[in-house]
């Protein structure tokens, strides 16, 4: 189901680091469970695998939402459009539903790559455009320089990281947020309070973390190779965390656990 503001689906299935048969099998299972939004990137090297399996699912193309992201190395004038055209061919689609810039150019100006993204939109290559890993300063710069509204900023978002500033600025400038590393790649399981809250709702630790993200108004991206985990990550719309639950989880954000940083990604900017 799309979010109220931007048309971005609320639950997406991530595909990193899956490739080949492992990706295809995971996507088939995810689609059976009900996922209709699939997240890939030029960087993941799996767009052709995703493009190969989607037509086999027997799902009307209009019901699917494919997100892909332009590789940071393709953000020059000569490489940008050919890379997007290759993504279209690999994904076997005439239009990408959500086309993102994967990373900003560290702390350098964002306008040149945003101009190329706008051109791709103007050519009809994307239904929605957005960014990923943008800071508050970058989001403000983006709305100043673009003719088209950015649908989404996909950022690391989970209970062990305080993203209040990014969330507040996104709301202020009219960009929705999407999550990645939503269960902090398993780190959340070290925090028993999530399980305790889950017990009172008949839900798991992961479901509590994901529901906290949903109640922050952020669209989810999760990835799993296991049917049970995929199912569990999808079933987060049928319960509500109380204010007290939310506050207990908010308190975990002081952990300051960040997976994507300058040590792990060479394009990372200085975070808010």
3-state secondary structure of 220: strand
Given the complex with ligand NAP, which of 65 and 233 has the nearer CB atom?
233
Q: Does residue 257 interact with ligand NAP by CB under 6 A?
A: no
**What are the residues whose beta carbons fall under 8 Å from the beta carbon of 218, sequence distance 6 or more?**
157, 167, 176, 177, 178, 179
> Are the beta carbons of 252 and 160 closer than 8 angstroms?
yes
Residue ranges in 88-107 that form contacts with ligand NAP under rule CB under 6 A: 102
Given the complex with ligand NAP, which of 121 and 257 has the nearer CB atom?
257
Given the complex with ligand NAP, which of 135 and 154 has the nearer CB atom?
154
130 sits in which H/E element: strand 126-132
> Are the beta carbons of 234 and 194 closer than 8 angstroms?
no
The radius of gyration computed from the CA coordinates of the chain, to the nearest angstrom, equals 18
Give the whole-angstrom CA distance, residue 103 versus residue 153.
10
Active site residue 125: no
Residue ranges in 188-207 that form contacts with ligand NAP under rule CB under 6 A: 206
Minimum Å gap between C-beta 265 and ligand NAP is 7
Instruction: Identify the residue among 7, 10, 16, 22 touching ligand NAP (CB under 6 A).
Output: 16
> DSSP of 126-165, one letter per residue?
EEEEEEES--HHHHHHHHHH-SSPP-EEEEE-STTS--HH
Given the complex with ligand NAP, which of 190 and 243 has the nearer CB atom?
190
Q: Does residue 133 interact with ligand NAP by CB under 6 A?
A: yes
Q: Which stretch binds ligand NAP (CB under 6 A): 55-63, 105-113, 137-145, 222-230?
A: 222-230
Q: Which stretch binds ligand NAP (CB under 6 A): 144-152, 179-187, 191-199, 235-243?
A: 179-187
> Are the beta carbons of 253 and 44 closer than 8 angstroms?
no
> Are the beta carbons of 60 and 31 closer than 8 angstroms?
no
Alpha-carbon dihedral sign for residues 22, 225, 18, 88: positive
Q: Among all residues, whose Cβ is closest to ligand NAP?
A: 14
Instruction: Identify the residue among 6, 8, 11, 14 touching ligand NAP (CB under 6 A).
Output: 14
Give contact residues for ligand NAP (rule: CB under 6 A). Answer: 14-16, 39, 102, 132-133, 154, 180-186, 206, 221-226, 229, 232-233, 260
């Amino acid at each position: 189901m799309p979010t109220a503001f931007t048309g971005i689906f609320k639950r997406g299935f991530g595909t990193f680091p899956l490739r080949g048969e492992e990706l295809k099998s995971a996507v088939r299972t995810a689609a059976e469970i009900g996922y209709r939004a699939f997240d890939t990137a030029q960087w993941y090297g799996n767009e052709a695998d995703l493009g190969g399996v989607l037509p086999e699912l027997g799902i009307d193309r209009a019901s699917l939402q494919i997100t892909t992201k332009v590789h940071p190395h393709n953000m020059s004038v000569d490489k940008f459009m050919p890379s997007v055209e290759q993504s279209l061919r690999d994904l076997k689609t005439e239009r990408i539903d959500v086309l993102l810039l994967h990373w900003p150019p560290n702390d350098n100006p964002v306008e040149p790559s945003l101009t190329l993204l706008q051109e791709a939109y103007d050519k009809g290559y994307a239904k929605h455009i957005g960014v990923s890993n943008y800071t508050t300063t970058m989001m403000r710069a983006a709305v100043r320089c673009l003719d088209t509204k950015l649908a989404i900023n996909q950022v690391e978002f989970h209970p062990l990281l305080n993203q209040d500033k990014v969330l507040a600025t996104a709301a202020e400038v009219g960009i929705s947020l999407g999550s990645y590393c939503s269960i902090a790649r398993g780190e959340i399981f070290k925090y028993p309070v999530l399980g305790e809250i889950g017990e009172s709702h008949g839900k798991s630790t992961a479901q509590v973390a994901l529901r906290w993200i949903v109640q922050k108004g952020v669209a989810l991206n999760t990835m799993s190779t296991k049917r049970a985990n995929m199912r569990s990550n999808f079933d987060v719309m049928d319960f509500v965390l109380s204010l007290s639950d939310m506050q207990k989880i908010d308190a975990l954000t002081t952990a300051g656990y960040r997976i994507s940083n300058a040590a792990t990604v060479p394009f990372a900017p200085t975070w808010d």
